[in-house]
Amino acid sequence: MKKINYKNLLLGGFLILLLLYQFVCAPGIRKIKDLNKTYIQKQKELETLNNLISQYKARTTQSTTLFAPSNFNLYLFVSKSIDMIDSKSRISRITPVTESILLNAIEQHITIGIEEIELEKLLMLLDEIEKRDFLRFGYLQISRNAQKPFVVKAEMEIISYKSVQ
């Protein structure tokens, strides 16, 4: 009968365990850590989104149209708001202000395109716009970036009304 070399058997078993850990367990552990980070970020975004939805519902119940002050400049307001969130380099386009006269108001439009902006900075910009009761969104479109999961692309139209005097 042959003697079993326990030293080689133990070394082989250890090598198999090491390879299993290196190629099976370690990648799974890294993936779980990455998913946990993504989960936490998405939870924060969901909480912010739910907060914004409740604020929107509260504001839509107030249907009165307020007029902007006579010295209000929509383009200047947008420029200052963008400077405030330090995202000037992310702006892809701003269309010039167009004005149209309605029955008793002057309607001003401005369209803004923003590329690769963090959701938090975009929310700061939207909050700055929402603070002004006389500003409205014509449309707001936000799309996510598939390559960079924590930045978004946004396009919006902002409308303000001034009274005709």
pLDDT above 80 (res 50): yes
Section 46-73 average pLDDT:
81
Query: Which pLDDT value is given to residue 64?
Result: 64
Supply the pLDDT for residue 1. 54
Assigned fold of 64-163: Alpha-Beta Plaits (3.30.70)
Mean pLDDT of the chain, nearest integer: 86
24-40 pLDDT, tens digit per residue, is: 899 999 999 999 999 99
pLDDT at 3 over 80: no
**pLDDT tier at 149 (50, 70, 90 boundaries)?**
confident
For 79-126, how does the pLDDT look when each residue is reduced to its tens digit (9 = 90+)? 898 888 887 888 889 887 778 887 788 888 999 999 988 888 888 899
116-141 core/surface letters (b: 16 or more CB in 10 A; e: else): ebebebbbbbbebbbeeeebbeeeee
3-state SS class at 42: helix
Distance CA 129, CA 74 (A): 10
β-strand 151-163 against 105-118: which pairing, if any?
Answer: antiparallel
- Is the whole model's pTM more than 0.75, yes or no? no
pLDDT of residue 65: 63
Q: What is the pLDDT of residue 17?
A: 92
Strand bridging mode 91-94 / 98-101:
unpaired
Residue 162 near residue 70, CB atoms below 8 Å = yes
Say if residue 61's pLDDT is above 80. no
